[in-house]
Copies of this chain bind each other. A is one copy, B any other.
Amino acid sequence: MEFRFASRMSQFTSSAVRDILKLTQGKEIISFSGGLPAEELFPAEELKSAYSRVFADRRVMQYGLTEGLPGLRQLLSLRLSQKGIQAKPDQLLITTGSQQSIDLTARILLEPGDLVITENPTYLAALQVFQSSGARILGLDTDENGIRADLLEAALRDNKPKLLYVIPTFANPTGAIWSLERRQEVLQLCSRYETVILEDDPYGELSFEPSTLPPSLKALADAAGFPGVIYTSTFSKTVVPALRIGWAAADESVIRQLAKAKQSADLHSSCLDQAALAELLEGFDLDGHIRRIRAEYAGRMQIMLDCLRNDPVFAGITVRPPKGGMFLWLELPGEADMDTLLRLAIEEGVAFVPGTGFYTDGQGNRTIRLNFSHSAPEVIREGMLRLKRAYIRCCSQSGMEAALS
């Protein structure tokens, strides 16, 4: 029997990393590829204790509201208000991770042929969502302050797109952060052209210099009375990913539509996970925990950066040290092919993500993304040695000059 799959399924390009990692199962690979938090920092005991308390109320095991547990939304509302985001519980939707917020936003807004504006490069799995909805995607270049406002204005004026998708704080994959001025400028443009902004903020809590962090677009929009920002974030990076609990904060009319779409998608997210998270938020110093994560990740980033900067082999590589998040973004010199480098790296026992997949237009063949949050310091050092061996082999194969240490 021949299965007649929908044409959108051919849009899902298979991830190079997934394919290569499949071939290397059983090998000891040091992975700098995923956006994974450090397992040894997970608050396991506190979570275990939170789960032990949720079963006291049998109703929490029953079907729940699509919008999410009222108690969790109340706690979240308070937490967001401390960050300048005005979101009453009715302006919040609990999702199965922030990936679902992106997917639901696409469902409520996009028709086939609609245009979505993104940064270029941007989060790969968001591009997949937009592609599978049949939307066209226009990626705009960024400068050191964020998405280029001149390009954005032209794109909004010419196309009146429904949606702008951005990660203004510790972008994926580049780790860059938008300036306050650029944020204001983008808000004014989107307000003028009535374009909804989906602000994806999974990494905002992971700032190495929290006092210098500009407010989120959503906080600025709330202060200015602009209702067009859908803000999404997650507990995946601050508590644990396995929970799959994220949220969307938006105008109540938008939340109502997102909830309709979610009801049809999966009825609601796990009430047990939601209830345990609510228990955790009440009894645990999450902000203290986040401070510990930040300090550890800042240290790991520095170690990885030092490995790159202190080795003459890597001299031609450009890297901008990020002020938070989970990623180093490298631009490599010359003609090296990143798929070749990845294949050699896997042979040497280390993995990364080639940059091309993050681009909307096939660019990025000399870029790679390295994750520094997941690996312990000694693992980072070993992984960077392996990457160096792969890089030397890659340069020699492609006839590039690489200083040999």
A contacts, CB < 8 Å to B: 1-9, 12, 34, 36-37, 39-40, 42, 44-45, 47-48, 51-52, 55, 58-64, 95-97, 99-100, 103, 107-112, 125, 128-129, 132, 162, 191, 194, 196, 226-228, 236, 240-244, 251, 253-254, 257, 260-261, 263-273
Per the bound structure, the CA–CA distance linking A263 and B123 in Å amounts to: 14
- Nearest chain B CB to A166 CB, angstrom units: 18
Q: Which 4 A-B pairs have the closest CB atoms?
A: A242-B271, A61-B240, A96-B266, A48-B55
Q: CB-CB < 8 A to A110: which residues of B?
A: 6
In this complex, the member of A12, A37, A62, A254 whose beta carbon has the largest number of chain B beta carbons within 10 angstroms is A62
Instruction: Tell me whether B61 and A269 are in contact (CB under 8 A).
Output: no
Q: CB-CB < 8 A to A109: which residues of B?
A: 4-6
6 contacts between A and B (CB under 8 A): A4-B109, A51-B52, A61-B240, A95-B266, A242-B270, A243-B270
Per the bound structure, the CA–CA distance linking A52 and B53 in Å amounts to: 11
Known: A6-B109, A9-B257, A39-B58. 7 other contacts (CB 8 A): A44-B55, A51-B272, A61-B240, A97-B267, A107-B132, A125-B263, A243-B272
Q: CB-CB < 8 A to A227: which residues of B?
A: 1
Q: CB-CB < 8 A to A129: which residues of B?
A: 264
Instruction: Tell me whether A266 and B240 are in contact (CB under 8 A).
Output: no
Per the bound structure, the CA–CA distance linking A95 and B52 in Å amounts to: 24
Instruction: Tell me whether B63 and A55 are in contact (CB under 8 A).
Output: no
Per the bound structure, the CA–CA distance linking A34 and B268 in Å amounts to: 14
- Nearest chain B CB to A118 CB, angstrom units: 15
- Nearest chain B CB to A206 CB, angstrom units: 16
Q: CB-CB < 8 A to A228: which residues of B?
A: 1, 3
Instruction: Tell me whether A260 and B40 are in contact (CB under 8 A).
Output: no
> Which single member of B112, B244, B257, B260 contacts A269 (CB below 8 Å)?
B244
- Nearest chain B CB to A201 CB, angstrom units: 17
Instruction: Tell me whether A270 and B273 are in contact (CB under 8 A).
Output: yes
> Which single member of B64, B244, B251, B270 contacts A268 (CB below 8 Å)?
B244
Q: CB-CB < 8 A to A60: which residues of B?
A: 242
Instruction: Tell me whether A267 and B242 are in contact (CB under 8 A).
Output: no
> Which single member of B48, B55, B112 contacts A47 (CB below 8 Å)?
B55
Q: CB-CB < 8 A to A269: which residues of B?
A: 96, 244
Q: CB-CB < 8 A to A194: which residues of B?
A: 1-2, 4
Per the bound structure, the CA–CA distance linking A271 and B97 in Å amounts to: 12
- Known A5-B108, A132-B261, A273-B270; contact A39-B52, beta-carbon cutoff 8 A: no
Per the bound structure, the CA–CA distance linking A100 and B264 in Å amounts to: 8
In this complex, the member of A40, A61, A228 whose beta carbon has the largest number of chain B beta carbons within 10 angstroms is A61
- Known A242-B270, A272-B273; contact A63-B47, beta-carbon cutoff 8 A: no
Q: CB-CB < 8 A to A243: which residues of B?
A: 61, 270, 272
